[in-house]
Chain A
Amino acid sequence: MAMAKATQRDADTDALSLSAAIASGQARVADVVGAALDAIAQKDKQYNAFLSVGNEAAMARAREVQASIDAGRAPSPLAGVPIAIKDNISTAGAQTTCASKMLGGYTPVFNATVVDKLEKAGLVVVGKLNMDEFAMGGSSETGVNGPVRNPWDVSRVAGGSSGGSAAAVAAGEVPLALGADTGGSIRQPCAFCGVVGIKPTYGAVSRYGLIAYASSLDQIGPIAQNIDDCAALLSIISGPDKRDSTCIIDKPFPFTEIHPEHLDGVRIGRPRNYFGGALEAGTRRAVLSASEVFRAAGADVSDFEMPMMDDMVSAYYIIACAEASSNLSRYDGLKYGYRSDNATTLSEVYRLTRSEGFGMEVKRRIMLGSFVLSSGYYDAYYKKALQVRALLKNVYNDLFSRFDMILSPVAPTTAYRIGENVDDPMTMYMGDIYTVPVNLAGLPAVSLPCGFDDKGLPVGFQLIGNAFSEPALIGAARVYQDLSRGWVGP
């Protein structure tokens, strides 16, 4: 049994350690935020994780937060901690571009609900993070500012679409980041970069201000070095929002520092058919060894056959692209963002602006989505995909009557080389096979590192739970974290 010895968290760089130091007066917010800004200035040329950094705004905010802490008002367990935000989450007065030429120079007039919540909790936003254009991709290579580079190997991708978020945390630029997960966009870059992320239940975190890719699948979530930081951040960003009627949770997830001691009686299912086929040997080995850690902790780990596996990626791309084709129609050059200089008529404004403003992958998905919704094809594609989605929800309902959690790989491979798959969309899309079912069913999942493959690249696994079972998933992840090696940076 490959069980690593439990190690302590790195007491210097994780978010809860920083906030504890700030709360006890051992550290000043300005110093912590200043250190993050310095790290970004030093390192980010290498990783390209950031699209914009707000030095002055962050330092000003740091002083405000310090003042309220000094006045005895620590607004949350993460007060004073710097955080960076994926660039598809709206920040009032600060550029929000979705890494697209189309939204070049676009500055929202309002904050996303999660950003309001971060500010209220005393976190300090230091900048906006690189990603795949409009979150469409799994490698963070399609953005207009070039690819994010994996801190473990800068010739490799960081994963995506929240590649900037995972890389910035892995590189030690910031202790916390927000990503968003539509088909694996938090979990897969976390796996590629060796960090921890949570894709919350659909409806647990407000999407207000998240620039939509696929509205019925998108969900904002935390990324950090460890599960405790993620749990603390999730308790801050979750909760109902009257501006998002799909945010159906009744109250925020509670945050506790308590770690369960064992997982006796917890039933964990392992989809047998996820461990064959395309799964690389090194990844397979690492994920299976993680499942042995759970067994050692007292969990009852057993295998099952996941139905409908071959339909998942098709159903996901039909639904996601259909919604995207509609969501991205508003970028027409008339109101904000990019507008073609070559247009003279209204139809040219539309055609040229969109031809010039969107990258190849975005165009591919808009065309795919428009096709599956068009008259004569709706029933054959879109409607059928909705039926697959409904069946899948039944499958999970059944599974969660037999298991408390499902443990699976996050991606078939570890981080691949930049450029390796850019001309092969099918390979890229198949890379989402283990992550998209979770989004289609609206379920929560945590992505955790579980060692390295033969190339020395991080491997991740995911723990999937029933809707709104985040506290249980976090508890199990804590047990795993305590039994395995702790945070290791590149």
Chain B
Amino acid sequence: MKWETIVGLEVHVELSTKSKIFCACTTAFGGAPNTHVCPVCAGMPGALPTLNRSVVACALRVGVTLGCAITRYSKFDRKNYFYPDLPKAYQISQLYAPICRDGHLDIVAAGRKKTIGIREIHMEEDAGKLIHDPGSGNTFMDYNRCGVPLLEIVTTPDFRDADEVLAFLDLLRETLLYLDVSDGKMQEGSLRADVNLSVRPEGGALGIRTEMKNLNSFKAIARAIAFESARQIKVLKLGGVVTQETRRWDDDAGVSLGMRSKEDAQDYRYFPEPDLLPIVIDDPWLREIKDGIPELAQQKRRRYIDELGLSEPHAAAITAHKNIAGLFESVSKKSGQPLEAANLITGAIMHMLNQSGTLPENLLIDADKLSFLILLVAEGKINRSAYKEAVEAVFLHNVDPEAYVTERGLLMISDGHLIAETVRDVLAQNQSAAADYHAGRTKAFGFLMGQAMRRGGRSCDPDTVKKALTEALQRWVPIG
């Protein structure tokens, strides 16, 4: 019998707003414990939440991009449960009227296109962190993360394997970065995915699903899907029943372990949050959001190939991060040389990024300076080795490229008389080589060319030298 795996995702995205969702505290990652807190996010008695509207704007940007229906009269609800990382003992979330519903994201996995449904997107606050001290056996509470805004993006169960899941997460992450709503860092928990998975005989009725948590990397997600799918198939093959439960992925051991079953599932006693007014999204706000959606990676790739003539690998490499794409676009525009800009960025610049271990989000390089150098080389004012050297100096030391090439004597000598004189001298001093050339031994040309370049220095334009040498040899007659 052939088995089919059915997967749906709940993706938590930490938004990169400056302040928290219901107070003015910073959302910065890290910080000494309990230094990014105030009475509101610490849940002190009497403190009240007030909504940070930029969180709503982020949710709308994502919802519009994913083709969702926008809830014009959206509300918050309270999700009640006791845990030390939740100082109010309830999380402000959305159950009854989430901000976005019914969208989709089109992915390509294993060469095939597929549409993944988005069931809903809702806004909520993050909880704090517990820090266990193994030495003392004590547990400490750090509320810095309390109130950091989250989007929960819930898909329909459209995935059939890990490849599709990873393709979705990759594209979603890229989209979030381009929309400037999240840094998408899995290692810092900015992007977290829970996997809902069931198996069934191909074409059969849906099976009972489990929910897996604690998936901290793409690799862990792929492994967890493979493991859990195999585990459920084994249970069913042996005539057993899959238990509906929450399971925790243990990445070190490579296994998922039962955490709690449906029977002891918590009753969250959701009800409308009375401390916040409903969020009314009117036409002007929605129009402003729609107008502010930037060109996304996929659209950029298409445009770079179709309009700018870039190769597919170059277009893909450049759009892998919006900062790289941004750099490409300004260099390309300023220099008017998109192909050269693409060569430069996918070549020297990316090489240096890798060498220096700089992340694309931290890339700081002056597009004007790169454009200036591209124009110099295009106009034949510097040669390629000088160009490479100057680009490196701009990347590493942010030098002024004009001063750099001048002071280092990298500007081409394009003075025809000077080059003709040099060629004449070279031929005068290498009579035998010139004779060899005339006798049909063309190898001699290379030797003469080398001599001329050496004498002229590295600022000589090889093309000009070559031309001058060819002409001189044609006119050459042996002396005496």
Q: Which stretch, B47-55, B190-198, B393-401, touches the partner chain A?
A: B47-55
Known contacts A108-B46, A370-B269; A330 and B39 CB within 8 A of each other:
no
Q: Which of B46, B78, B80 contacts A112 (CB under 8 A)?
A: B46
Distance (whole angstroms) from the CB of A112 to the closest CB of chain B: 6
- Per the 8 Å Cβ criterion, residues 308-361 of A in contact with B are 322-323, 325-326, 329-330, 332, 334-336, 346, 350
A477 within 8 A of B: no
Tell me whether A5 is interfacial, beta carbon within 8 Å.
no
- Determine whether the beta carbon of A246 is less than 8 Å from that of B277: yes
B269 pairs with A90, CB closer than 8 A: no
Q: Which of B32-90 contact A (CB under 8 A)?
A: 39, 42-51, 78, 80, 82, 84, 87-90
Q: With an 8 A cutoff between CB atoms, is B377 at the interface?
A: no
Stretch at the interface among A36-44, A209-217, A222-230, A288-296: A209-217
A427 and B276 CA atoms in complex are apart in Å by 34
Total interface residues in chain B, CB < 8 Å: 28
B45 touches A329 (CB 8 A): no
Query: What residues of A have a CB within 8 angstroms of the CB of B80 in the complex?
Result: 325-326, 329, 373
Whole-angstrom distance between the Cβ of B405 and the nearest chain A Cβ: 57
- Given the interface pairs A90-B45, A326-B78, the reply to whether A215 lies near B275 with Cβ below 8 Å is yes
What is the total number of residues of chain A having a CB less than 8 Å from a CB of chain B? 43
Q: Are A334 and B141 in contact (CB under 8 A)?
A: yes
Q: Is the CB of A322 within 8 A of B271?
A: yes
Residue from the set A96, A106, A209 with the largest chain B CB neighbour count within 10 Å: A209
Q: Is B204 an interface residue (CB 8 A)?
A: no
B78 neighbours in A (Cβ, 8 Å)? 326
List chain A residues, Cβ under 8 A from B252.
Answer: none
Neighbour of A325 across the interface among B39, B44, B51, B269, CB < 8 A:
B269
Q: Which residues of A contact B45 (CB under 8 A)?
A: 90, 96, 98, 103, 106, 108, 211-212, 330
- The reply to whether A243 and B84 form a contact with Cβ atoms under 8 Å apart is no
Specify which chain A residues have a CB less than 8 angstroms from the CB of B87 in the assembled complex: 330, 335
Interchain CA distance A216-B47 in the complex, whole Å: 15
Chain A residues whose CB sits within 8 angstroms of the CB of B82 once the complex forms: 329, 332, 350
Chain B minimum-CB-distance residue to A337 = B45
A211: which B residues are within 8 A, CB to CB? 45-46
**B51-A245 in contact (CB<8A):** yes
**Contact partners of A89 in chain B: CB under 8 A:** 46
**Closest A residue by C-beta to B79:** A326
Measured between beta carbons, the chain B residues less than 8 angstroms from A326 are 78, 80, 89-90, 269, 271
Q: Contacts of B47 on A, CB cut-off 8 Å?
A: 110, 208-209
CB of A363, distance to nearest CB on chain B (Å): 16
- CB-CB under 8 A from A246, the residues of chain B are 48, 274-277
Any B CB within 8 A of the CB of A244:
yes
Contact: A334 with B84, CB < 8 Å?
Answer: yes
Set of chain B residues within 8 Å of A242, measured between Cβ atoms: 50
Q: Is A374 an interface residue (CB 8 A)?
A: yes
Which residue of chain B lies nearest to A244 when distances are taken between CB atoms in the complex?
A: B48
- Residue from A329, A350, A378 with most neighbouring chain B CB atoms (10 Å): A329
Q: Verify B89–A330 contact, CB threshold 8 A.
A: yes
CB within 8 A of A207: which of B43, B48, B267, B269? Answer: B48
Q: How far is the CA of A355 from the CA of B275 in the complex (A)?
A: 27
Complex Cα distance, B274 from A210, in Å, reads 14
Nearest 3 A-B pairs (CB), nearest first?
A: A329-B89, A373-B269, A216-B274
Given contacts A212-B45, A326-B271, A335-B42, 13 further A-B contacts (CB under 8 A): A90-B45, A110-B44, A211-B46, A245-B49, A325-B80, A332-B82, A334-B141, A350-B82, A373-B80, A373-B269, A373-B270, A373-B271, A378-B271
Give the B-binding residues of A (Cβ under 8 A).
Answer: 89-90, 96, 98, 103, 106, 108-110, 112, 207-212, 214-216, 242-246, 248, 322-323, 325-326, 329-330, 332, 334-336, 346, 350, 370, 373-375, 378, 382
Which positions in B face A, CB cutoff 8 Å? 39, 42-51, 78, 80, 82, 84, 87-90, 141, 267, 269-271, 274-277
